[in-house]
Amino acid sequence: MEKEKNISFSNTGHFSLDEDIASTRNCENMIGVTQIPLGIAGPLAISSFSSTNQELRTKNYFIPLATTEGALVASVSRGCKAIGESGGADVEVEDVGATRGPVFRVGNMKEGRKLEDFLKNNFSQLQEVAAKTSRHIMLKTYAVSGAGTYRFVRFSFDTKDAMGLNMVTIATTALASYIYEAIHIPCVDISGNFCVDKKPSWLNFIQKRGKAVRAEVIMPASVVGDVLKTTPQKFYDAWLAKCMMGSAMSGSMGFNAQFANILAALFIATGQDPAHVAECSIGMTTTEITSNGDLYVSVHLPDLMVGTVGGGTGLATQKEALELLGVSGGDDGKNAVVLAGIIGAVILAGELSLLASLSQGSLACAHESLARGKVQKL
């Protein structure tokens, strides 16, 4: 692998953390490291890659997954194989923006309108205030909501290749200060759970956050049989029963099979904040059987908070994982978009594999597995 990708895994292979840097930037009172096994899945073929602004170059990717859960890497690899033999996945990334949702307190509705009017009439000034806090940030849009004397403002920022939460906190603090000086309406929480950060929410599902990613593939019935060991119909039935009926009956925001498993492994491997699994795992998988009997499968992730600079992305082993994907460091926002798209495609691979396993779980198989003391990992 080192040779093929022209990357050195000198750090991943042994404890190599620059303790001085990590203990300053990433962790206080640091006593060492936790080690998570890192496996490689793939190759994963992306056949078209569309972002908000551009068509991106496509290629095959080897996928770094840090996990302690056996079978995950093998499961993703199987999904990658199915995608590859189907000609690759199509991926679409919308660069929505990192959001902060401070909460202001007004005296009454009339003062609430004053706040709304101020925001509307001073948007370019607000953009200037935000821009002064970092050369990598731009205020894109905002929205206001609220009840009683609470007014929640959801600021949305372009943060280039950074996931950007620290940047948007600083910018939002400056914005709240500017607003207070101008109209004396105080902010009582810089983060008012209207961001919504690291919590599952319908607001993020509906209005999206970070990157919104879709990935899809059409698999010939023969690939479904040969690689996934199931049929389009069985796959469809397993999907409908679990991802739609089950999630609806349980009041879930996750209409999918295992977004969280894949996200956690990718986030840890590539230095993302694993707490974001709480919000990023919402979303939907869809399937259908095409008119000629093939299987269409898609994933929709409305809320993917990822970056290729800042946070844990600079740590040695994490940086190597990003290099493996070709997206380490900043590139005017493009690296973060590509990372998001790759994640979407890996999520798709994970859904293919798990739903196929569930669908083929005939009771005969179950008997046999039990006899052998083995069982399909979920």
Tell me: does residue 348 bind a copy of itself (CB under 8 A). Answer: no
Of 79-87, 144-152, 223-231, 330-338: span binding a copy of itself (CB under 8 A)? 144-152
- Whether 136 is a known active-site residue: answer no
Give residue 197's identity as a one-letter amino acid code.
Answer: D
Cα 279–Cα 282–Cα 287 angle in degrees, nearest 5:
160
Which one, 121 or 250, has the nearer CB to a copy of itself?
A: 250
Tell me: does residue 298 bind a copy of itself (CB under 8 A). Answer: yes
- Whether 294 is a known active-site residue: answer no
Cα–Cα distance for residue pair 74/42, rounded to 1 Å = 9
DSSP H or E run through 262: helix 259-269
Tell me: does residue 3 bind a copy of itself (CB under 8 A). Answer: no
Q: Which residue in the set 147, 292, 371, 372 belongs to the binding site for a copy of itself (CB under 8 A)?
A: 147
> What is the nearest approach in angstroms of a copy of itself to the Cβ of residue 161?
16
Q: Which residue in the set 73, 139, 295, 327 belongs to the binding site for a copy of itself (CB under 8 A)?
A: 73
Q: How is residue 347 written in tokens?
A: 């999520």
Tell me: does residue 275 bind a copy of itself (CB under 8 A). Answer: yes
Q: E-assigned strands of 86-196?
A: 89-100, 103-105, 138-145, 150-158, 187-189
Q: Which residue in the set 59, 180, 222, 332 belongs to the binding site for a copy of itself (CB under 8 A)?
A: 180
Phi, then psi, of 289 in degrees rounded to 5: -100, 125
* Mask for 24-63, x = binds a copy of itself (CB under 8 A): xxxxxxxxxxxxxxxxxx------x-x-----------x-
Tell me: does residue 22 bind a copy of itself (CB under 8 A). Answer: yes
Residue 135 CB partners (closer than 8 Å, separation 6+): none
Tell me: does residue 187 bind a copy of itself (CB under 8 A). Answer: yes
Residue 76 CB partners (closer than 8 Å, separation 6+): 41, 42, 63, 65, 262, 346, 349, 350, 353
Which one, 64 or 84, has the nearer CB to a copy of itself?
A: 64
Of 79-87, 117-125, 179-187, 220-228: span binding a copy of itself (CB under 8 A)? 179-187
Which member of 90, 94, 197, 273 is catalytic? 273
Of 23-31, 80-88, 224-232, 329-337: span binding a copy of itself (CB under 8 A)? 23-31
Which member of 19, 69, 111, 189 is catalytic? 69
Tell me: does residue 249 bind a copy of itself (CB under 8 A). Answer: yes
How many residues form the binding site for a copy of itself (CB under 8 A)? 167
Pairing of strands 283-289, 254-255: parallel
Phi, then psi, of 270 in degrees rounded to 5: -105, 15
**By three-state DSSP, how is residue 97 classified?**
strand
**Which of 269, 303, 272, 297 is closest to 63 using CA atoms?**
269
Which one, 92 or 161, has the nearer CB to a copy of itself?
A: 92
C-alpha count within 13 angstroms, C-beta hemisphere, residue 121: 9
Which one, 71 or 138, has the nearer CB to a copy of itself?
A: 71
Residues designated catalytic? 69, 273, 367
